[in-house]
Every structure is written in C-alpha cells, then in structure tokens.
Chains A and B, each alone.
Chain A
Amino acid sequence: MSEIREIDIPVGATPQKISQMLENFEDVHGERMVVQMGPQHPATHGVLRVELETDGEMIMKATPHIGYLHRCFEKTCESMTWQQVVAYTDRLDYCSSANNNLGYVLACEKMFGIEVSERVQTIRVLVSELNRLASHFIAIGTYGLDIGAWTPFLYLIQEREHILDLFDRLCGGRLLLNYMRIGGLTHDLPDNWLKEVHEYLSYMEGKLDEVNSLLSYNKIFVERLANVAIISEDMCIKYGLTGPNLRGAGKKWDLRKNEPYCGYETYDFDIPVGDGEVGTIGDCWDRYIVRVKECEQSMRIIKQATERLEKMPGDDVLAAIPKSMTKVAPGEIYFRTEHPKGELGFYIVSNGKKFPWRLKCRAPSFSSLSVMSAVSPGLLIADMVALIGSIDIVLGEVDR
C-alpha cells in the first residue's frame, strides 16, 4: 500500500490516465484480489454484481454484471395489447412509474396521432412531477444511506410517503400507478385532491433545507463525495449518461426544455446544473446536489400545474382513449422523455396489429451503468459505493 500512496493522482485526471499510472505499479504489488460486490450487497441498489479487481482497497478494474432481474420486458410486451403494456412499464423503474407510463403513452400517442386535451396533459405533468419528486427523494435518501447516514433516508421516505398517499387517493396504486392510458387517464382527479397537493407543497417548505444542512453540506459527506469519480460532460454524452448525471457535469440539458412535450414549455422552471461548488464539476457531489435542486424545481412545476387545474373546466379524461386498438397505424417511432434517472426512450415498431411488433425501451440507468468500468479505476471501495449511488440506478430498469 505504501507505494500506492506515493502516486499523486491529480484532480480531474481522466480514468485512462489513472489506469495507466496504476498499470506501472502492477509489478510492485504483484497479485490482485478479485472481489465480488453483489449481487447481494447493500450498496448496489438491487441485484447488481460488480467484479472488482483490487489492490488492497484500490480498484484496478471493475466489471459490472447485470441481468439478475431480467424478465424480458420487451418480449412480454410483444404479447400484450397496446393498453396492457402500460401496466408493465410501471415495473421498469419502480421508483417512478408515472414517468415510465408517460414515456410509453406519449410515444404511442405520437405514433397513432391521438390528441389529448390540455387538462389531461396538465394532470400528467402534475403526476409525473410528483413522481419525480418521490424518485429523487429515494435517490437522495439512499445515497445518504450508502455513505453511512441513516437518518436523512428515513426523513425523506417520510416525505415520500405523503406523495404515495396522494397517489393512492388518485388511482389506487402507491408504487405502481398504472394511471395513464393511451389517449387519457384511468381516473379523473378525486375531490379535494388538488387542495391536498397544495397542502403538501406548503408542508414541504423548508424540508429540503433541513436535508441540505443535515446531509448535503455536512463536512464528512462533502469530503466523501467531492472530487470523487468525476464524469466529465464529454464522457457523459459519449456514454449516454443523461438527466441529472449529465446536468451534474455542467451541461444545461433537459428534455423538458429542449424538446418540450406535454406543454412543459409553458411552465416556468430552471435547469439546475453542477457547478463544482465543493470540488470539481462532474463529481459525485455535483450529481447529488443537482437532484436536490431539481426537487425544488419540480415543486415549482407542481404548484403551477395545480393552479392551472383549479382554473380549468373539468372535462372527460377518458374521452380520447381509442375504443378499439385492434387495427392501428403501422410504422416505427422513437420517442424520449425526461425521466428522473435520465432520458427514457421508447422505440416502438407497429405492424398495424393489436400487439406491438417490437418495443425497445432505452432505459436511462442501463446507459448510465455502462460508464462504471470506465470511471472506476483508481477509486477506493468506499468511492465505488459513492459512484453507484451517484449515478442513481434502478436495477428494474437496467435489466428490464
């Protein structure tokens, strides 16, 4: 170990450079140890296995192995009707099912040329932003858990629980909503639901500050994350990292602004980006803090959406749902939406029958995870935990 300490790894060195530097020391240290991190490991957020080649605690090479949760979503969908698939998209990223629903439903609507009313769109925006909030709470909370802080996790779970209660009132599901349909929604809003959303927003005021002072700006937490596992903007784009991971690297990129759908262009919100406040741009802390800041922006959108809905006259949310989908337009389409984890794309091929011919889900976590083996050389095992948490993967989506 003593020789290893002498390598002065410069801040911001590319992983390639680090691995080169490490290669030179290989002979000195001789044998490497292979450690299997996962599939049953608390920090891998599910059933991910990472094969680590380590020298002491320093990682020389990391190979992620996925597929432990593979259930062939794409094959299953080929024997489901267009509307039934919605129930399956819930289970991709089980932390943000409304956003999955939205991605699929919008892709189908664009393909079949179905127009939905403004009210339906606003409700969709409201529900998916609430779910984004819930998903980010999980991401932030479990990240604290990875770093060793238990309490913020349970505080955030507590706030998330209120959102799930709202969902329960809305559509009966808490985690897996199955709320959207091609052309509409399953239920209209219940009585007083918008008022409850307003109450929730006022309840949440100041709660994120508490999380910030308890966790985000805690010296130990900052030390653990600053300058660790830097993923530059260029690398993010190359490896297909999107969403908060890309924004954490300093790129102002959000599909809600850049390729607006569902009328997102009419909402007033900002895109938070990582600015290297405590370390280098694109380190773990930046990716983390972007999520915290996004929560505030989501709350702004929710507030605007509720205000609009209160003014809007009620109409039938089921009106545009096609009565029969046995014969649809053939063709293929790729449509992407901004998911809490990144860019969720659905590539749909239809041959005009009642089942999708081919449905490919471009899962954000899948691409995000592929960057791991490029970033990890030179990290310590504890940093590896920080890296996995910071790119915020959900294995249900990686393995599909």
Chain B
Amino acid sequence: MTIPEIFNILQEKFPEAELVLEENNPDPIIRAKCEAIADISLLLRDDPDFSFDSLMCLSGVETVEEFQTVYHLYSMLHNHKVTLRAGGTKEEELIVPTVSHIWPTADWHERESFDLFGIKYTDHPDPRRILLPDDWVGYPLRKDYEPQKTWHKIPLTAIDYKEEDNGDES
C-alpha cells in the first residue's frame, strides 16, 4: 500500500486529526495532530490491511518553528512503510501520547527523545531520562542548549592541558 492510499484511509477514519500529507520529500510524510497519534498508531498496527507490526525508528526533531516526533513504521507482512509526524510549536512543551503500549520498542526511543529534546510522552510507563543522568539540566539536542559548567563538581568544558595545569576544579 502506498503512502497516499494510507493517508486517504486515515483521513476518512480520523477526520478530526488534522492530517496533512507532506509530499515535498523523498518519502511522503503523514502529519497528524499530537493527540491523535496513539489512536492512529493502534489502527495502523491492528488493521489487517496495514498491520504495521514494527516501529523502525522514533525520533525527536527540532525544526526552526517546532518540535516534532517522527515515527517510521514498517509492516513485515505487507512490506510497506509509512512515516508519521506529530509536531507542536516551540512556545509550549510538546506533549505526545505514548505508543509504547503499541510497540514496546518505543519505550526506550521515547525516553531517549524525552532525554535529549524534552518532548513529553503522556502515559509513558517509565518516564525517566535514559542516556543522561537523572539530575541533568537541559535537553542537549535542542539548538539553543547551553551545557552546564559543572556537574557534581566535574568540569564539563574541555580543559586545555597545554595552557594550565589541571589543578583546581572549582
């Protein structure tokens, strides 16, 4: 099934999801409202025509205007792919419903995206940071991220050993 076909069916089933087909891309992308993502995902997995049984990749993205979560789905049964995108403006936090109950692999990918972008996933079973320490400040993959100077007295900026002896860390 091609992506426009999938898009048409989805648009019929979810009229309120504000679905948009972004075609100016090597692979077209279906854009949906954040709140509808979990429902759409459930349909995409369970409908025998789609049966998107594997989530290849889930990534957070920051564009100039907004934060996004991008879902790359694949069906091992029908050998077709689809890309979903949920986005929200930068002013408020992006809150997306979790899909970790639909594809358990999303659990860690969502945690990673929360860790590095600060995108919140509602109903996530384990909403902790995954790669960074729990008490880290900031979300490193945001474009405006300023790294901390120290973390638990460990200096986080590079030390030039040629210029100064690594004596004091204060």
- The reply, when asked whether chain A contacts chain B directly with Cβ atoms under 8 A, is yes
* Whole-angstrom CA separation of A110 from B61 in the bound complex: 20
Closest B-chain residue to A359, C-beta based?
B59
Find chain A residues with CB under 8 A from B130 CB. Answer: 66-67
B106-123 CB mask vs A (1 if < 8 Å, else 0) is 011100100010000000
* Whole-angstrom CA separation of A110 from B25 in the bound complex: 12
Find chain B residues with CB under 8 A from A367 CB. Answer: 105, 108-109
Chain A positions 66-88 with a Cβ under 8 Å from a chain B Cβ: 66-67, 70, 72, 74-75
User: Does B132 count as interface, using CB distance less than 8 angstroms?
Assistant: yes
* Whole-angstrom CA separation of A347 from B24 in the bound complex: 17
Chain A positions 346-361 with a Cβ under 8 Å from a chain B Cβ: 347, 349, 357-358, 360
Question: Which of A258, A367, A400 has the most B CB atoms < 10 Å from its CB?
Answer: A367
Among the listed B27, B56, B116, B133, which residue makes an inter-chain contact with A362, where contact means beta carbons less than 8 Å apart?
B56
* Whole-angstrom CA separation of A239 from B130 in the bound complex: 17
| 23 interchain pairs, CB-CB under 8 A | A66-B131, A67-B131, A74-B141, A75-B116, A75-B140, A75-B141, A75-B145, A111-B26, A239-B104, A240-B105, A333-B26, A333-B27, A343-B56, A347-B57, A347-B70, A357-B63, A358-B141, A360-B59, A362-B59, A366-B108, A370-B105, A371-B104, A400-B131
B64-108 CB mask vs A (1 if < 8 Å, else 0) is 000000101000100100010000000000000000000111011
Closest A-chain residue to B103, C-beta based?
A238
Find chain A residues with CB under 8 A from B108 CB. Answer: 366-367, 369-370
**A248, chain B: closest CB distance, angstroms:** 16
Q: A110-B26, A334-B27 are in contact. Are A70 and B103 (CB under 8 A)?
A: no
Among the listed A67, A345, A360, which residue makes an inter-chain contact with B133, where contact means beta carbons less than 8 Å apart?
A67
Pair A238/B104 contact, Cβ less than 8 Å:
yes
Pair A240/B55 contact, Cβ less than 8 Å:
yes
Find chain A residues with CB under 8 A from B25 CB. Answer: 331-333
Closest A-chain residue to B100, C-beta based?
A370
Pair A347/B59 contact, Cβ less than 8 Å:
yes
**B15, chain A: closest CB distance, angstroms:** 27
Find chain A residues with CB under 8 A from B56 CB. Answer: 240, 334, 336, 343, 345, 362
* Whole-angstrom CA separation of A240 from B110 in the bound complex: 13
**A342, chain B: closest CB distance, angstroms:** 11
Find chain A residues with CB under 8 A from B105 CB. Answer: 238-240, 367, 370
Pair A334/B133 contact, Cβ less than 8 Å:
no
B133-152 CB mask vs A (1 if < 8 Å, else 0) is 10000001100010000000
* Whole-angstrom CA separation of A358 from B105 in the bound complex: 21
**A253, chain B: closest CB distance, angstroms:** 7
User: Does A157 count as interface, using CB distance less than 8 angstroms?
Assistant: no
Find chain A residues with CB under 8 A from B132 CB. Answer: 67, 70
Pair A240/B141 contact, Cβ less than 8 Å:
no
Question: Which of B29, B63, B130 has the most A CB atoms < 10 Å from its CB?
Answer: B130
Closest A-chain residue to B136, C-beta based?
A67
Find chain B residues with CB under 8 A from A258 CB. Answer: 79
Find chain A residues with CB under 8 A from B11 CB. Answer: none
Among the listed A72, A253, A345, A400, which residue makes an inter-chain contact with B57, where contact means beta carbons less than 8 Å apart?
A345
Closest B-chain residue to A233, C-beta based?
B76
**A271, chain B: closest CB distance, angstroms:** 14
User: Does A237 count as interface, using CB distance less than 8 angstroms?
Assistant: yes
**B132, chain A: closest CB distance, angstroms:** 6
Find chain A residues with CB under 8 A from B145 CB. Answer: 75
* Whole-angstrom CA separation of A362 from B54 in the bound complex: 13
Find chain A residues with CB under 8 A from B131 CB. Answer: 66-67, 70, 399-400
User: Does A318 count as interface, using CB distance less than 8 angstroms?
Assistant: no
* Whole-angstrom CA separation of A237 from B102 in the bound complex: 12
* Whole-angstrom CA separation of A369 from B111 in the bound complex: 14
Pair B140/A331 contact, Cβ less than 8 Å:
no
Question: Which of A72, A331, A360 has the most B CB atoms < 10 Å from its CB?
Answer: A360
Closest B-chain residue to A343, C-beta based?
B56
Pair B72/A345 contact, Cβ less than 8 Å:
yes
Find chain A residues with CB under 8 A from B140 CB. Answer: 72, 75
Pair A237/B76 contact, Cβ less than 8 Å:
yes
Chain B positions 32-80 with a Cβ under 8 Å from a chain A Cβ: 53-57, 59, 61-63, 70, 72, 76, 79
* Whole-angstrom CA separation of A237 from B56 in the bound complex: 10
- Top 5 A-B residue pairs of the complex, sorted by shortest distance between their CB atoms: A240-B105, A360-B59, A67-B131, A362-B57, A370-B108
* Whole-angstrom CA separation of A284 from B35 in the bound complex: 40
**A265, chain B: closest CB distance, angstroms:** 14
User: Does A385 count as interface, using CB distance less than 8 angstroms?
Assistant: no
* Whole-angstrom CA separation of A247 from B140 in the bound complex: 36
**B73, chain A: closest CB distance, angstroms:** 10
Find chain B residues with CB under 8 A from A321 CB. Answer: none
